[in-house]
Amino acid sequence: MISINTTLQPTDLQSSLQNFWELSGQKVKLIQQQYDVSKGSPVFTVQGRYTTRGWTEWTQGFQFGSAILQFDATGEEEFLNYGRQNTLNLMAPHVSHIGVHDHGFNNVSTYGNLLRLMHEGKTPFNEWEKNFYELALKISGAVQASRWTTTKNGGFIHSFNGPHSLFVDTIRSCRALMVSYRLGHQFQGENDVKINLLERALQHCHATVQYSVFYGEGRDRYDIWGRTAHESIFNTKDGNFRCPGTQQGYSGFSTWTRGLAWAMCGFAEELEFLQTIPDQDLTHLGDRQVIEEFMLKAAQATCDFYIEQTPTNGVPYWDTGAPNLHKLGDYLNRPANPYNNQEPVDSSAAAIAAQGLLRLGRYLQQTGQTEAGNKYWQAGLTVLQTLLQEPYLSIDPAHQGLLLHSVYHWPNGWDYVPDGSTIPYGESSMWGDYHIREVALYLQKLINQEPYYTFFNCVK
């Protein structure tokens, strides 16, 4: 399990953060200079150079969002100009993309961050520019909400896999609906039926809590506190749940660690979001206490599982049930080894998880649960400290990636395996690079006593 450094303070990472942003800026420029956007969205690196991989278009927002975060962290306007211009030129198809569940990734990372910067006074206020960003975010949330499957006791936003498929990672993309709701958007369906976007978001959260997260309550033989299933399968004719499954994990009865991390981060920031919602907005959606309790239970369960099922340095292997982990011996009681010859690690899961741990820790500290909050907070700092150093931080000036040892889809064999190895290592992913920037910015803003960084700061 993670060896939590209980004495680590945010300011202890200041010099590492300064070095990180210098490297980060170099990587943004390298991709800008060398990547051909006509090939599609960059997804992951092969021998240090970003390439695309046709499946769904879910990573371009991370490319331009990274430049926007770089400006936020450093004030260098060339990154703002690059991110803003490419959001204008290339992101519109993602706003209207009816085939994906990733609107919270693509559009909140770009339009949302640009709008947030304007509200925070980091960019000049312009009424028409503000309206442009708001319109994109309103429509994006509505398009995502339209991917709806009705179940026996609610419903969920279905994945690109089809109406039968609930993905655990969509929990973080729910923020697209929440932003659209907060912007006052009125989503309408057949016969002009008005659809409450907050209700849809909360119903999706509840479905994820109920079917994608396990609590050690005897649901099946693999029911462990905090385990997640990547995919939950439903009968779309009668709305009944059928079984757990996976696309990128090892099996429906093991835990794909990036999916686990999405749940950790998603639930933690949605708990923060709920604090901004007036009680009257929740009256017809259920009792606030009930909603917050099921969210908090899922957040704590998943964070506990991550802490317990991750090696001591805070970086997990790609799946907790990966078939060759046993060949590594007592792997949970030593640091993860990205260069082993049995199973790959996934640093991108660690970057996402670190933010979830920090946000949950602060949420609990702020709500009077100091001891529990301190545990998660210190665990998040411990994971981030690992990622801000070699061998996870990419210092090679020719490598376009920022966070090394990320994997995309190991079961499909999409990840690059170096000669002489049986597993992938040394490569980066667009989501990994974005999320290490995001958690670094999150901590830096706290150190500098800047406005607390949330996805919903784009709404005033």
Binding site, annotated residues for substrate: 102, 169, 246, 258, 262
Given 72, 169, 304, 433, the catalytic residue: 169
- The answer to whether residue 102 is catalytic is yes
Closest CA to 271 of 66, 406, 2, 454: 454
Q: Quick one: which of 113, 157, 115 has its CA closest to 132?
A: 115
The one catalytic residue in 36, 72, 102, 346 is 102
**CA nearest neighbour of 108 among 64, 165, 42, 50:** 64
DSSP secondary structure letter of residue 451: P
Side-chain-side CA neighbours of residue 397 (13 Å) = 1
415 is catalytic: no
Phi first, then psi: give them for residue 92, nearest 5 degrees. -55, -40
Rounded to an integer, what distance in angstroms lies between the CA atom of residue 114 and that of residue 78? 14
Buried b (16+ CB within 10 A) or exposed e, 70-106: bbbbbeeeebbebbbebbbebbeebbebeebbbbbbb
Residue 319 to residues 33, 53, 55, 300, 324, Cα–Cα distance (Å): 35, 21, 21, 19, 10
229 to each of 30, 62, 262, 317, 423, how far by Cα in Å?
A: 36, 25, 12, 16, 23
Half-sphere exposure of 90 (CA within 13 A, CB side): 23
Give the residue numbers of the binding site: 102, 169, 246, 258, 262
- The token pair at 257 is 């660690």
SS3 149: strand
Any alpha helices (H) in 109-153, and if so which ranges?
113-119, 127-145
Phi-psi region of 459 (alpha: psi -120 to 50; beta: other; left: phi over 0): beta
Residue type, 90: L
Active site residues: 102, 169
